[in-house]
Amino acid sequence: MRQSIFISGAAQGIGAAIARLFYQQGYNVGIYDINETAAQHLAAQLGENAKAGRLDVAQYSDWQTALNEFVVWAGELNVLVNNAGILYSGAFEKTEIIAHHRTIDINVKGVLNGCHVALPFLKKSSFARIINLSSASAIYGQADLISYSASKFAVRGITEGLDIEWQKYGIRVLDVMPLFVQTAMVKDMDAGTIQNIGVDLKPQDIADEVFNLVNSKGTIFTQTHHPIGLKTKIMYQLSTISPQILNRLSNMLLSRK
């Protein structure tokens, strides 16, 4: 039986790149997004082993409907990719509070909802893995990206905790931590870090890393966090050995406009 992957926020950008790669590698692919029309269009492009549907990740009932529907179609759930996310940039106080709340609803509650609903299906599968989309913004809190950065710290914590807690079920829970990626999310972004660091990564870079993680043996020595790109890897490693004051100063410099 074909292995299956369910991807949230899969209609465009990183999610779509993941969907295309796994489809090419012989997976049954679930393309679920709040933009169902775009999701259906991508599924039609890929072929009969792709299934699309609507999913508002902030709604627990949407997850229940989507995953039940997908598992009936695919036979089992092997891989869940919590990819859906949003980003608001700019000064914290100039960003409407509803935007901060929406970031948490989608980026954090969406991951909690997905993991919670998926567990019964993953426990029954022959092979099971969860890959969460974290970010380099979870290395140190980012100016002008406050709620986004906080949401990705939450994803980092969820990943670490569940990767330990769900060992008893044989489920690895891992994350990828890219820097800025060439997607619609970073277009016209108002943050000094993107101006100073630039946008070097493409959606395919993240898709390739997700595929490698899913297909690795996943031993106890497999790390939980996976920075993507040279700049992110350097930032991640330096953050583990630098005094807190240096981490703060370096991030102040990077955030200057």
Q: What's the pLDDT tens digit per position in 223-256?
A: 999 988 777 666 666 666 555 655 445 544 544 5
**For the chain, counts of helices (H) and of strands (E):** 10, 7
pLDDT value at 194 more than 50: no
**pLDDT in the model for residue 85:** 95
Nearest to 19 by CA among 202, 185, 207: 207
d(CA 46, CA 203): 17
Catalytic residue, from 88, 148, 169, 236: name it.
148
Task: Give the pLDDT confidence of 124-144 residue by residue, as tens digits.
Answer: 998 999 999 999 888 888 888
* Residues whose CB is less than 8 angstroms from the CB of residue 225 and which lie 6 or more positions away in sequence, other chains included: 134, 156, 159, 160, 174, 175, 177, 236
pLDDT at residue 252 in the model:
47
- The pLDDT of residue 201 is 80
Q: What is the pLDDT of residue 237?
A: 67
Nearest-CA neighbor of 58 among 103, 5, 15? 103
Two structure tokens written together for 105 = 């609803």
Per-domain boundaries in the chain: 4-254
Enter the tokens of residue 197: 């660091």
Q: Does 169 qualify as catalytic in the annotation?
A: no
Beta-bridge partner residues of 173: 130
Rounded Cα–Cα distance for residues 6 and 10 (Å): 9
Show Cβ contacts of residue 21 under 8 Å, excluding neighbours closer than 6 positions.
204, 207, 208, 210, 211
Cα-Cα-Cα-Cα torsion 152, 153, 159, 164, nearest 10 degrees, comes to 180
Asked whether the beta carbons of 192 and 257 are under 8 A apart, the reply is yes
Q: Are 211 and 25 in contact (CB under 8 A)?
A: yes
From residue 196, alpha-carbon distances to 11, 12, 192, 199, 254 in Å are 29, 26, 6, 10, 6
Least confident stretch, 16-25, 60-69, 152-161, 184-193: 184-193
For residue 12, the one-letter residue type is Q
Those residues with Cβ within 8 angstroms of residue 167's Cβ, 6 or more apart along the chain or in another chain = none
Residues 179, 231: contact at Cβ < 8 Å? yes
Q: Which amino acid is at 184?
A: A
Lowest mean pLDDT among 89-93, 150-154, 157-161, 214-218: 214-218
Q: How many other C-beta atoms can be found within 10 angstroms of the C-beta atom of residue 172?
A: 23
Indicate the fold that domain 4-254 takes in CATH.
Rossmann fold (3.40.50)
Choice between 143 and 197, residue whose per-residue pLDDT is larger = 143
Distance CA 12, CA 42 (A): 8
